[in-house]
Chain A
Amino acid sequence: MHALIQGVILGILTGGVYALMASGQTLIFGIMKVVNLAQGAMVIMAAFLAYQLFTRFGLDPFLAIPITTVLMFGLGVGVELLFLRPLRREDKSELSLLVTFAVALLIEGALSLTWGTTYRSINASYGNSSWTLWGYQITVVRLWAFVLSLVALGLLFWILNRTRFGRAVRATVQNPESARLLGVEAQWVSALGFGLGAATAAAAGSVYGLLYPFYPGSHYDLISRLLSIVVLGGLGSVGGAVIAGVIVSTSSAIVAATISPAWSEMTFFVVLILVLLIRPQGLFGNVDRGAI
């Protein structure tokens, strides 16, 4: 029982980080109907950047976030403009998958060249400290990661609901045709939206580096998890991604605590299959029947 609750606590804390990464990804899908297979790679890239800043300049990963976020935002906008924008409309849905996949590999290759393929981790001084609350261990790092995720998600929600850009995004997501009629500049929304998605990956990246050892190939594991979360939440629903992130992370942690850590990796795959069998559109997604 103790293990179970410990697992739940762990799951919720890390769930925040996954929620952050997944929300960026599902946002990109909502705006452009593109599954960004490079999301995981962007997280890892940000992790490496944070690692470099930490080992070179002693900059705390949390403090590196403003830097990495801005950099990755730019990268995201660049990727959209360079590789996704030129795709013709008929091919877009078919090819965008492969394009983002290629970008992910490009990032992986570049990271391998720069830092090699050994595992790295950001070993901050507070890395091992933890508090014990009612007999349950709460690591400092995870707690701060959770807080950061909440802050970042809050920021994301604020952007989406209170700014002009956010309103444009929401209009585009719900009804691209009407949005265009209302004068929403779809091109800009796409590029900035992709940048925003990349920025969420960056914010999560620093944290990721603190929590787990990583190497350039870690993005496969990560993207698989993120995709399961996004599908569970419903492609395009940011709120759904947040809830799903916590659910999947918690389930995974429970499995790790009660059965074995090796099988916890399967949890997200099982979740994916279950969602597709029972309710393919996820918790908050829309059934798409192809009306134009």
Chain B
Amino acid sequence: MRLPSVLRGGVFVVLLVTLPMLGLQHWFLNLLVFVLMYATMSSAWNLVGGFAGYPSLGHAGFFGIGAYTIALIFKDHVLTTGYEPFLLLPVVGLVGALIGWPIALISMRTRADVFAIVTITFLFVAQTLAFNLHDLTGGSQGAALPVPRFPADSFELPFYYVLAALLIFTMALTFATMRSKLGLSLVSIRADEDKARGVGVRTIGVKVLAFSVSVGITAMVGAVWAYYQSFIYPQFAFDPLVTIAIVLMTFLGGRGTLWGPVVGAVILESGQQLLTYQLGAVQLYLIVYALLFLVIILLLPRGILPTIEDRLRLRRRRRRTDAAAAPPGDHTPSGQPDAASMLGGGAS
């Protein structure tokens, strides 16, 4: 029994809104903040990496751009309510999208390989610029943001709700995309881009649009993170681990689905936050993430949700063909080939 999507969405929203009111401890709220961050970024990445099949390896670059943009806007600024940075998030999103747009135009004209090359290089270049442009970014000494005067016992709450709003926004956007011809175009690109181009699909425009929106959202998350941390450094704002994490989460949950990235983020980010106290060493994260990624690609390539869906569909189909089995005495072969027997080997 599957709940209609709108109902599921409603339940999710209610859950998100009421969760903090349960009087949770600080470390748990902090965990939730990070889970929401990664859920949003993974969902955003999913638009480009999941639906279109263009794995961006540089999303962390836009995370950092968002972080430094908000830091620059509020440099030496005195806050009044403390909500100003949140109000300026759309501006940050626009900045991210405007920077992402030409990058997409340049890199998405040929193949996905070239795209990945440009994005990974972009991340590195962005980090280098953050280190080198001392006057603008503070270089290796980092940049400071004004600390909001939120009450100490509910400090995380504003960040939580802003991120929850961003996540809901991103998921609504994803939902709308899946239901529209934009989503159809994106999936056709992923299915067979050359054929899509061959039948007249406006592949470049559609890809660039998806990328710009995706990085705009990522930049906004970066801005919230920067404000939350109050102090940012280039190596953490432009951290390849962020890219790896969101790619991994999307793959784990199931790319090209609505809930997949969220599921992946919940599992992995909670796991990471909980294990931080045990492991601590960054090197270990790298190995664990990389190994996990390889394992998922080889053993569970479609991710958790699509695999479950496949199993359910297979079971439903088997039940249907069993029910439709010819009554005894009827030997005419059915005109329609057995769907279940053809299911094996379906592409993702």
Q: Which residues of A pack against B, CB within 8 Å?
A: 29, 33, 35, 37, 83, 86-88, 90-91, 93-95, 97-99, 101-103, 105-106, 108-110, 112-113, 117, 216, 220-221, 223-224, 227-228, 231, 235, 262, 265-266, 268-269, 272-273, 276-277, 280-281, 288-291
- The segment from B140-148, B172-180, B285-293 that touches chain A is B285-293
26 chain-A/chain-B pairs, Cβ below 8 angstroms? A33-B113, A35-B117, A37-B57, A37-B120, A86-B298, A87-B297, A90-B347, A94-B190, A95-B297, A98-B55, A98-B297, A99-B294, A103-B294, A105-B287, A106-B294, A109-B283, A109-B286, A113-B283, A117-B283, A223-B120, A224-B120, A227-B117, A227-B121, A235-B113, A290-B193, A290-B195
Q: Tell me if A105 and B297 are in contact (CB < 8 A).
A: no
- Tell me if B53 is interfacial: C-beta within 8 Å of chain A: yes
A276 CA to B113 CA in the complex, in Å? 13
A95 CA to B291 CA in the complex, in Å? 15
Mask of B333-348 contacts with A, CB within 8 angstroms, 1/0? 0000000000000011
Q: Tell me if B121 and A224 are in contact (CB < 8 A).
A: yes
A268 CA to B128 CA in the complex, in Å? 13
12 A-B pairs besides A109-B283, A290-B193 with CB distance below 8 A are A90-B348, A94-B112, A99-B294, A106-B287, A109-B284, A109-B287, A109-B290, A220-B240, A231-B114, A231-B117, A269-B122, A276-B118
Residues of A within 8 Å of B251, CB to CB, are 98
* The residue from A86, A103, A227, A288 contacting B120, defined by CB atoms under 8 A apart: A227
B256–chain A nearest beta-carbon distance, Å:
11
A228 CA to B128 CA in the complex, in Å? 16
* The residue from A101, A113, A280 contacting B287, defined by CB atoms under 8 A apart: A113
- Most chain B beta-carbon neighbours within 10 Å: one of A94, A266, A269: A94
A268 CA to B124 CA in the complex, in Å? 12
Interface of B, secondary structure class, is helix
Residues of A within 8 Å of B112, CB to CB, are 93-94, 97
Q: Tell me if B125 and A269 are in contact (CB < 8 A).
A: yes
- Tell me if B315 is interfacial: C-beta within 8 Å of chain A: no
